Amino acid sequence: MLDVPASVLIALLLLFASPAPAASVRSVDFTEAPEMADFSKKAHQIGDEMYPVVLKLMAEDPSILPQQFDLVFRKTLKVPAYALPRERKIVLNAEWFTKHPDDVGAVVHEMVHIAQDHAPGAPSYWTEGVADYVRHKLGYTNSWSHPRCSAEFPHYTSGYWCTSAFLMYLDEQFGSNIVHQLNAALRQRPYSDAFFAGATGKPIEQLWADFQKTPYHKPGAAKAWEAKQREACTNQLYKIHQAIQAFQQENGRLPHWLSELAPRYVSSTNVLICPVTRRTKEVASFGVLDPLLPAAYVYEFSATRIPWLENHWVTMKQFKLRQKELVGDGIPMVRCHLHQPVLNLAYNGDVFESPTGWEQRFTNATVRAESLSVNALFPEEQKK
Ligand SMILES: [Zn+2]
Ligand SMILES: [Zn+2]
């Protein structure tokens, strides 16, 4: 035996047992489109962060799938982006991403194509449907790309959003493993619809019929229902804005919680709860809880500490007031995550839709995403 202290041995073992994983993005080439310098950084970062997560959604043992890929920007293409899975390459349209710098979800969609490794002849609606399912499941939805069946994509064999909605439903009913299994079936050939009967005990026609009965995913009905909820929610957000303004005038400060607005400034606490929550009991609070009304909207200026940071005593209100100095009065004050895209009531009273990350709307050459972070805004907290 070598005479080495145990702690050194353990440190050495750890060092060799868990080498740093290689970055997912092998290279980024924007020489043809230098205007993509900023976006390419964003795409690179999303690639490295999200590809390992994508792989986990694609197979039980992600190590069997392609681990790396290249990003290449082209000046103009007929489509926003496409993947060349054999070459492990994603080609991105500079013109599209100049116009739609928020559409990082399109990059995630192409990353799924790299990871799929489906056999030639696999039905393209599954290939496209799984790509959008992963995109949506990871939260990369926007005003046009979110799970639903519509006139453009009415059936699971249409691919994209409708197939994504169907897979979301199957995931909910049978667990995420169903998509692992479906991918495994699509990597082998030939694929057959009999897969579904084997995996779920129900033939695909039955699953599709069951899916259509669900209120969220019924073609047409889901759309109309969502639009109605969104409109009702928007009206409430306007009322909340009036109430907050009245509160501020009388008290000289913002309320600490939305519940502080009742009963003097709103007719009923119902105004402070999204109609979707009132109906389904579903909440999306991200830990920003109102002490008296935990099912209320997410009030960004709450006097509660930022729930997702440990050992930090910065409150949501302090954080948002500093962000507001940078981005202005358009900053979201109340947010409702029960709609896709998210509904936001801005400090200035506007109601607007955004992805989960509203910051993209405000970041530009002078305001960078990094400068809106807690670390950047509260450097004094870092030294503690
Ligand atoms: Zn695709
Ligand atoms: Zn709502």
pLDDT at 370: 85
Q: How far is the CA of 100 from the centre of ligand 1 (A)?
A: 17
Cut 0.75: pTM above it: no
Q: What is the number of the ligand closest to the CA of 282?
A: 2
Q: How far is the CA of 124 from the centre of ligand 1 (A)?
A: 9
Q: Is the dihedral of CA 53, 46, 141, 66 positive or negative?
A: negative
Q: How far is the CA of 125 from the centre of ligand 1 (A)?
A: 9
DSSP 307-369: TT-TT---BHHHHHHHHHHHH-TTSEEEEETTSSSEEEEETTS-EEEE-S-GGGGT--SSS-G
Residue 378, φ and ψ in degrees, nearest 5:
-125, 60
Q: b/e string for 19-56 if b means 16 or more Cβ within 10 A?
A: eeeeebbeebebeebeebeebbebbbebbeebbeebbe
Residue 251, φ and ψ in degrees, nearest 5:
-110, -10
Q: Where are the alpha helices (DSSP H) in the chain?
A: 6-17, 37-58, 94-99, 104-116, 124-137, 160-174, 177-187, 194-200, 204-213, 221-251, 275-280, 316-327, 374-377, 379-382
Q: How far is the CA of 158 from the centre of ligand 1 (A)?
A: 12
Q: How far is the CA of 360 from the centre of ligand 1 (A)?
A: 24
**Contact assessment for residue 325 and residue 304, using Cβ atoms and an 8 Å cutoff:** no
How far, in Å, are 28, 30, 47, 289 from residue 271 at the CA level? 49, 49, 41, 16
Q: Is the dihedral of CA 351, 354, 357, 359 positive or negative?
A: negative
pLDDT in tens, 301-324: 999 999 888 777 899 999 999 999
Question: Is residue 163 scored above 80 in pLDDT?
Answer: yes
Q: What is the number of the ligand closest to the CA of 275?
A: 2
User: Predicted confidence band at 356 (pLDDT cuts at 50, 70, 90)?
Assistant: confident
Q: How far is the CA of 78 from the centre of ligand 1 (A)?
A: 13
Give the pair of three-digit tokens for residue 124: 């393209």
pLDDT at 14: 43
Report d(CA 193, CA 173) in Å as an integer: 18
pLDDT at 349: 97
Give the pair of three-digit tokens for residue 32: 């043809």
Q: How far is the CA of 89 from the centre of ligand 1 (A)?
A: 13
pLDDT in tens, 244-299: 999 999 999 999 999 999 999 999 999 999 988 886 667 888 889 999 998 899 99
Q: How far is the CA of 321 from the centre of ligand 1 (A)?
A: 40
Report d(CA 289, CA 297) in Å as an integer: 9
Q: What is the number of the ligand closest to the CA of 234?
A: 2
Q: How far is the CA of 112 from the centre of ligand 1 (A)?
A: 8
Give the pair of three-digit tokens for residue 382: 């870092």
**Contact assessment for residue 297 and residue 334, using Cβ atoms and an 8 Å cutoff:** yes
Q: Which residue has the tokens 């979800």?
A: 105
Q: What is the number of the ligand closest to the CA of 160?
A: 1
Q: How far is the CA of 270 from the centre of ligand 2 (A)?
A: 12
Residues with Cβ–ion distance below 5 A, ligand 2: 233, 274, 336, 338
Question: Is residue 5 scored above 50 in pLDDT?
Answer: no
pLDDT in tens, 165-183: 999 999 989 987 899 999 9
User: Predicted confidence band at 16 (pLDDT cuts at 50, 70, 90)?
Assistant: very low
Report d(CA 267, CA 211) in Å as an integer: 39
Element of type H or E holding 74: strand 69-74
Q: How far is the CA of 351 from the centre of ligand 2 (A)?
A: 11
Element of type H or E holding 28: strand 25-29
Q: What is the number of the ligand closest to the CA of 226?
A: 2
Q: Is the dihedral of CA 241, 242, 247, 252 positive or negative?
A: positive
Q: How far is the CA of 111 from the centre of ligand 1 (A)?
A: 9
Q: b/e string for 111-124 if b means 16 or more Cβ within 10 A?
A: bbbbbbbbeeebee
pLDDT at 8: 44
Q: What is the number of the ligand closest to the CA of 112?
A: 1
- Domains defined along the chain, listed by start: 21-213 (1.10.390.10), 221-382 (no CATH)
